Amino acid sequence: PQGSCRLCTVEVSENGKTQMVTACNYPVREGIKVETHSERVVQARRILVELLLARCPQVASIQNLARELGVKKSRFKTENPENDCILCGLCVRTCDEIVGANAIGFSKRGTQKKIGTPFEVDSDRCNACGACEYICPTGAVRMEMDRTRKIKRSDTGTRRYCRYMRLGLLDF
């Protein structure tokens, strides 16, 4: 877990100190007290959901979270209502750590931050395995099938299959 979405924010108390941390990557220790639904935690999650709702207003999972937390609409400005990427980084980590291709990554900063290939050109490192599309929680990553077919066909005309396709994790 990377903790970039911050939706798993909890309040941890230890030795009289209280702090807000991400539960997914905070180390468990003896003697800590974890509050998962304190007023402070719920308020923080509402703000995070508002930010995600402003970034990706059409994503069903974000809309469901907003409904659960009582957020009716975001007070933040929506730049691109067609955007579905919540910048969780799962696709980047999968491409790097599991596939080993390192074909995509984060670029730009702040509100302009996005995920894509280096210099926004087709990456030679991409082997069209589709693992990024499979792991994406919002469906923002979509394989271009024409490009996928071109990549999977080698110079000799034989088809090349990614190991994840052979394992049955992905179905093209």
Per residue of the chain (172 residues), give pLDDT as tens: 788 889 899 999 999 999 999 999 999 999 999 999 999 999 999 999 999 999 999 999 999 999 999 999 999 999 888 889 999 999 999 999 999 999 889 988 888 888 888 887 777 788 878 888 889 988 888 776 555 555 555 455 544 444 433 333 333 3
Can you tell me the distance from the alpha carbon of 117 to that of 56, in angstroms, rounded to the nearest whole number? 21
**149, 161 in Cβ contact below 8 A?**
no
Element (H, E) at 12: strand 9-14
> Which residue in 138, 129, 115 sits closest to 161, CA to CA?
129
Q: What is the pTM for the complete model shown?
A: 0.77
CB environment 94-108: b (16+ within 10 A), e (fewer): bbeeebebebbeeee
Where does the chain have alpha helices with state H?
Answer: 39-55, 60-69, 90-93, 131-135, 145-152, 163-166
